[in-house]
Amino acid sequence: MEHTDDWELLLPLFEWPEQQAYEELRPLVLFGDSVAERSRETGIPERTMYRRVERFGEE
């Protein structure tokens, strides 16, 4: 498999829930990607994404 950021292609590769949770936030935390865009890609509400990013920063 080639490198991809396509969420639908990544989902089946996750073996643990922690992997999925990390990948949901990774582009936001590491690269400053748009929460709105990531929300559309993952289907997670923007408000939830903002809360998770905030909690990630606190840890």
Alpha-helical (H) ranges within the chain are 7-10, 17-31, 35-42, 46-58
pLDDT of residue 1: 61
For the chain, what is the domain count? 1
| Residue 42 CB neighbours (<10 A) | 19
pLDDT of residue 2: 72
Does 52 map to a domain? yes
In contact, 40 and 22? CB cutoff 8 Å: no
For residue 50, give the nearest of 27, 26, 25, 30 by alpha carbon.
Answer: 25
| Residue 24 CB neighbours (<10 A) | 20
Domain with 38, as residue range(s), is 15-58
Does 5 map to a domain? no
Q: What is the pTM of this model?
A: 0.82
Question: What is the C-alpha radius of gyration for the chain, rounded to an integer number of angstroms?
Answer: 11
Note down pLDDT in tens along the chain; length 59 residues.
677 888 899 999 999 999 999 999 999 999 999 999 999 999 999 999 999 999 988 87
Does 6 map to a domain? no
Does 35 map to a domain? yes
pLDDT of residue 3: 72
